[in-house]
Structure 1
């Protein structure tokens, strides 16, 4: 007697197998994810334009007029705020509250533009271009002074962005690998708890290794080893537990959802190559609420601004971790609930 396993394979039979509705649905999902990747990256980066970049103006009696002039530029590339004097203008830059500060010299036609390249080289370039046009219209010029320069080996300030991406990739890959090694989708609450406990030490080691690479090994971001280790641990854990949650919730499709969150949406909106003030509205809005953006901002704040302003990014990472852990446990408890398989009472 011939069994299905003994039936010789034929091209027609194989085509019928791979064109089954479930397989076709998977292929459509992959195509949508691929096109989403292209749309998201090109949409975010194809035409960067400064929008409402915050700067301080210290021009004495002329401050109000200059603020009004700058804020009236078509497209509002800058958002100017009057500063009491040069000292407060400089402080607004070194604290990270403003991206730049223009201080007018009443005794010369050469003014000073204070910037912080540590907050983003692309933003500095954009501010210099706009301020240069404003100064030129008044037959003046501005000399740029970088108050928060990039570290020597942090080319264009992108080290933190790539570090964050590496940590996040490690988080969702380890969660996916655990799922594969454990036989696929989580089956019960105990198994979910075991997977969560497994990614915690991985996150700690991964955060440590990333900090060692950029600090001790490459000297790209130095002087903040412990803080970077902590941020890295939270980033890896956040992406790992969200991946576990998606897997427990919808199975293999959850990997695609994770890629959508962290790769398709998270990377281009993170403020890496182009900071938030240069991104289109959609990406600028979602960036701070995804670990990629929160992590990139946190690393910049720690390395270049003394850790000021990291409360928001840290809250974002902790929220993702809590959502991932609670969601994973809740979804797995539902999966493992024997009552789900019981026939309805007659």
Structure 2
């Protein structure tokens, strides 16, 4: 392949990558809609309201009848549902914009259907509100891409500039710790887009940074430079657009929603929401996902350490000289 052919091939490859990125980022936004969105229903006639919801929007709302208002509030704060409809003479709707401002907005619109009179609407209460400095969740949604991109960049640089696997492990750990501390200092201290305990949030950011950077460096160590592309494109083209940072997993098409939650960006979004807004409720699943990715990355880098040690030449033995 001469220089001109190589240039044409690179240009064509870049155009295909551009098309893939357009599909990956635009397609989820176009197809955002409720899909089996869990909503609690309590009060007189709750079973009838649940049936009406299921019939009116098949596959959109998953109504769950609970005993009373206390049970509905508990389900909301434990992240079992995204909202609750309290029936009665004066119907009310409970939402949690901390879980998803977009879902809270949609449930607020749904409240109009439970009006006592045509001009009245059901009262809406935000039980778990978003941060007052980021009420629409725009800052939270924009925070995920920098975490992913910086992790990819760290993994690429470590793979290309650091020759040994042991040193790459040290680099990934350093990046994760420093990145977790600095990113949450900016997000919470300066931009004020996340409530909650700073050290807990910094720990989550550090784990995410380790998982992403470690996956890139680990695959590069295991299979060479091709691993950089595989890991980076997986995180960027699948993990980020399907992370549901600006929406909720139940608003994205399947199976991509589930795949997104199985990758570090999606798990990071869910874990950050749980820690920041819900005192750790429903944090077990996304935490396990991130730990599995971090453990796999560490294992790949560990295999590289062992392989490099086995490849080291044995020290030459001194040959005794005849007397």
Query: TM-score normalised to the size of structure 1?
Result: 0.81
> Is 1:56 aligned to 2:40, yes or no?
yes
The residue number in structure 1 matching 2:95 is: 115
1:278 to 241, 245, 251: 251
Does the CA contact (< 8 Å) of 2:144 and 2:240 recur in 1? no
Does the CA contact (< 8 Å) of 1:148 and 1:304 recur in 2? yes
Q: 1:229, CA displacement in angstroms? A: 0.7
1:69 to 52, 65, 78: 52
Q: 1:335, CA displacement in angstroms? A: 7.7
Decide whether aligned partners of structure 1 residues 256 and 29 sit closer, same or farther in structure 2, where only a CA change above 3 A counts. farther
Deviations 1:284-343 (CA, angstroms, capped at 9, x unpaired):
12121011011111111111111111111111111111111212333575588669xxxx
Does the CA contact (< 8 Å) of 1:214 and 1:222 recur in 2? no
Structure 2 unaligned residues grouped into runs of 5+: 313-323
CA RMSD of aligned residues (A): 2.6
The 1-side partners of 2:192 and 2:170 are apart by 32
Q: 1:92, CA displacement in angstroms? A: 1.6
The 10-residue stretch of structure 1 (318-327 or 32-41) with the greater mean CA deviation from structure 2: 32-41
The 2-side partners of 1:125 and 1:212 are apart by 29
Does the CA contact (< 8 Å) of 1:248 and 1:332 recur in 2? no
Q: 1:130, CA displacement in angstroms? A: 3.9
Decide whether aligned partners of structure 1 residues 138 and 251 sit closer, same or farther in structure 2, where only a CA change above 3 A counts. farther
Decide whether aligned partners of structure 1 residues 302 and 178 sit closer, same or farther in structure 2, where only a CA change above 3 A counts. same
Q: Secondary structure at the match of 1:117?
A: coil
The 2-side partners of 1:204 and 1:335 are apart by 26
Deviations 1:27-74 (CA, angstroms, capped at 9, x unpaired):
6554443322111112111131111111111122x1222212212234
> Is 1:296 aligned to 2:276, yes or no?
no
The 1-side partners of 2:18 and 2:228 are apart by 14
Q: 1:275, CA displacement in angstroms? A: 1.1
Decide whether aligned partners of structure 1 residues 259 and 28 sit closer, same or farther in structure 2, where only a CA change above 3 A counts. farther
Alignment length (residue pairs): 311
> Is 1:260 aligned to 2:233, yes or no?
yes
The residue number in structure 2 matching 1:247 is: 220
Does the CA contact (< 8 Å) of 1:159 and 1:221 recur in 2? no
Does the CA contact (< 8 Å) of 1:270 and 1:287 recur in 2? yes
Deviations 1:168-219 (CA, angstroms, capped at 9, x unpaired):
322221121123323xxx5xxxx11111112202210110001111222232
1:210 to 152, 177, 183: 183
Alignment of 1:1-346 (within 5 A): 16-20=2-6, 29-60=13-44, 62-105=45-88, 108=89, 110-133=90-113, 135=114, 141-182=121-162, 186=163, 191-330=164-303
The 2-side partners of 1:291 and 1:138 are apart by 47
Does the CA contact (< 8 Å) of 1:51 and 1:75 recur in 2? no
Q: Secondary structure at the match of 2:159?
A: helix
Query: TM-score normalised to the size of structure 2?
Result: 0.87
Decide whether aligned partners of structure 1 residues 215 and 77 sit closer, same or farther in structure 2, where only a CA change above 3 A counts. same
Q: Secondary structure at the match of 1:119?
A: coil
The 1-side partners of 2:69 and 2:4 are apart by 69
